[in-house]
Structure 1
Amino acid sequence: MSSDSKWLDSARAQWLWRGKDRPPFADVPALGQVSVWDFPRPPELVREAREIVVFWGHLEVARTRAAWAVRETAHPPTFYLPLADVQPGLLEPAGGGSFCEWKGPAQYWNLVDGARRLDQVAWSYPQPLSGAEPLADCVAFYAHNLDCRVGGSKAHPQAGAFYGGWITPDLAGPFKGGPGSGAW
């Protein structure tokens, strides 16, 4: 994958929904909810005020009040936690990577605790593209095999093997990642 400007412009231009209008199939937010269809594209980085906690079984992996929430149209937020707030010695480089047209080249991480391991359960952007610089010293976790909490509420994983958003009760969808959502 490349970061050349023609490729980036083409990748960024493909998205129909950009947070300006909700599609007719969007859920109407209940009292106290926010529609993910109101989030912008390109995504915005917002400092998260709620405490974020990640558990692997009974092991606390991370706890922070300094996370960044990346909010993008049709996606539940992805939370990026400062690496300094992750328990030392639990992350090991996983190899491989991917490229996001908004954030740049991603590096993947395994969680390791003695003989236990979860492969490619986290990712980071050590050299993010312009606009995503606050993510340089942060890591995000997939919620599929972890107990992730946002302000005390259990987060559920965004559907699909690639997306890493966390669905919490304060969000209205539907959320990208499920069947038929590829063009969202």
Structure 2
Amino acid sequence: MNGYNMAVPKLNVQSFPRPPLVDRTPRHIQIKWHGELIADCPAGMAYWVLETHHPPTYYLPPTTVCMPLSTTSKSTFCEWKGAATYYSIMSPISAAETVNDRIWSYNEPLKGYEAIKGFLAFYAGPWECYVDGERVQPQPGDLYGGWITSDVEGVVKGQWGNWDPVL
């Protein structure tokens, strides 16, 4: 799909649930790096996780990622989803450029999040990420991996680390 999908209603992050909701997303997800397409996920194949004060985090099936990934030693733990595995990826134009720990998955997710088992999430950089053709902005800070599009509104967590926003 080219262009922004006007049929998608506004997404107010303050109305998202806690614990987070995981569901299929009707969005088309693409990720480009140095002008090369490195992931292309048709609408309805990815999941999004919607959590209070967070823009959506998108989880793509590994089959939609066009570049090989290698696991790194980094691991984090989410109280809802469990232990995260992180990956490195080599640039599509230069073997000398590798990015570590900007892609992750939950390979043994906790109960309620089994749907995203093995699916891959990307921080919104250093590559360009697109939702229905619209380039996303990263969630503030560098702790969370949410993607902000023009339909996301409300107070977003992340600018001050993991502190909840004051309303």
Report runs of 4+ in structure 1 exceeding 6 Å deviation: none
Matched residue of 2:73: which SS? strand
Q: Distance in 2 between matches of 1:58 and 1:84?
A: 20
Give TM-score, length-normalised by structure 1.
0.79
- How many pairs align? 153
Offset, 1:148: 0.2
Provide the C-alpha distance between the structure 2 equivalents of 1:137 and 1:120, rounded to a whole number of angstroms.
16
Q: Does 1:61 align with 2:42?
A: no
1:71 to 37, 50, 57: 50
Whether 1:43 and 2:27 are equivalent positions in the alignment is no
- Tell me which of 112, 121, 125 is aligned to 2:102: 121
Q: Deviations over 1:70-120 (max 9, x none)?
A: 00000000000001111142x111212000000000001111132221111
Identity of aligned residues (%): 40
Please state if 1:98 is matched with 2:76.
Answer: yes
- Letter in structure 1 aligned against 2:37: E
Higher helix proportion: 1
Give the alignment's TM-score, normalised by structure 2: 0.86
The whole-number CA distance in structure 1 between the counterparts of 2:64 and 2:72 is 20
Report Cα offsets for 1:3-30 as digits up to 9, x if no partner.
xxxxxxxxxxxxxxxxxxxxxxxxxxxx
Pair 1:82-2:61 in alignment = yes
In the alignment, structure 1 residue 138 sits paired with structure 2 residue 138: no
User: How far is 1:144 from its partner?
Assistant: 2.7
Distance 1:132 1:126 in 2: 10
Residue 163 (structure 1) aligned with residue 144 (structure 2):
yes
Say if 1:92 and 1:112, in contact at 8 Å, map to a contact too. Answer: no
RMSD: 1.6
Provide the residue aligned with 2:6 in structure 1: none
Contact 1:111 1:118 in 2 (8 A): yes
